[in-house]
Amino acid sequence: MTEETPSVRLAMRVIEELIAKGLLRESSRKTFLAKLASGKVKDEDWKLELELATPSEPAP
């Protein structure tokens, strides 16, 4: 995405925060930026990314 629309700028800020908090993987930055800026992130996308980005708790 080369065009810096307000949606892209906001998506970039959100993505940075999510990566900093460990809720989004760096490797997913480009994909999520495009989807978030265009409003095309689905529930399944968030769920999968959170599962992959956050370590699961060990079984008791």
**Per-run averaged pLDDT (10 residues), the chain, 60 residues:** 82 96 94 94 94 78
Residue 1 lies in a domain: no
Question: Would you say residue 12 lies in a domain?
Answer: yes
pLDDT at 1: 46
Q: What is the pTM of this model?
A: 0.80
Tally of structural domains, the chain: 1
Cβ distance 44 to 17 under 8 Å?
Answer: no
For the beta carbon of residue 29, count every other beta carbon within 10 angstroms.
15
- Three-state DSSP at 48 gives helix
DSSP 21: T
Domain of 18 in residue numbering reads as 6-47
Per-residue pLDDT, 56: 75
